[in-house]
Amino acid sequence: MSQKWPGVEGRHAVVTGGGSGIGAVTAAALVRAGARVTLMGRDTARLEAQRAALSGSGEVNVISLDVTQESAVTAAFAEATARLGAVDVLINNAGQAQAAPFARTDIALWQRMLDVNLTGVFLCTRAVLPEMLERNAGRIVNVASTAGQTGYAYVAAYCAAKHGVIGLTRSLAREVATQGITVNAVCPGYTETELLRASLDQITATTSRSEQQAREALLRQNPQRRFVAPEEVANSVLWLCSAGSDAINGQSISVSGGEIE
């Protein structure tokens, strides 16, 4: 059921990594709230499937994009603006997690985690910021992770990148604080998505643990002893984009059942 949200209705929102997981659920929430949404991601088939699922709910645009490629980002956002107008809301959701012991973290893995999780946020934000500054209005929400608020073993590169996203969020929020733009991050704990499925597969493949044992090990980190639902993350994003959240700026909001206090 659609429920229009003041401050969101009629706005053009871009969601990167919008074909699955938190991105897809967030895009659906924005569409129901009345936003015109551009889905961006590398998997065109998934993006088109998501657009089909939202058919009839609102205006949804699809653009294939690798957020790590500067020229591709520039072209994609120019195309998005040409189709649906200037971007009012940017949800930097595209990301990737890969685990390895620190001693086995080679430069390729390290660079890949930084490129996808941090440089992509920088490039996409840079693409929309000039017009937001010109209009003195905009919302930027970075989907970081509790990995940006604490440390986890075996994912040093991912944690470093997500800590970088939070640092970028805080810095830019201060820079644009008087210009009608807010910049915030949401930091999900382990969330029921394909990324979690991949994490569980990696644990079982590299240890003697069963899938159930792997799930229980991750669940122990959440005081509520459950995984986060992607809808719970999407609700936090939607609130940060809506009217009435103007004073929320530079924050890293943990959506983790109390794992991060």
Helix, strand, coil percentages, rounded to 5, for the chain: 50, 15, 35
- The catalytic position among 152, 154, 158, 190 is 158
Q: Hunting for tokens 């029921």 — which residue is that?
A: 192
Q: What number of helices (H) and strands (E) belong to the chain?
A: 9, 7
Cα–Cα distance measured from residue 24 to residue 27, given in angstroms and rounded to the nearest whole number: 5
The verdict on whether 158 is a catalytic residue reads yes
CA–CA distances in Å: residue 236 to residues 79, 97, 112, 253:
28, 22, 28, 8
Please return the burial class of 171, using the count of CB atoms within 10 Å of its CB with bins 0-12, 13-18 and 19+. exposed
Cα–Cα distance measured from residue 147 to residue 41, given in angstroms and rounded to the nearest whole number: 22
Strand partners, 170: none
Please return the burial class of 132, using the count of CB atoms within 10 Å of its CB with bins 0-12, 13-18 and 19+. buried
Which residues belong to the active site?
A: 158
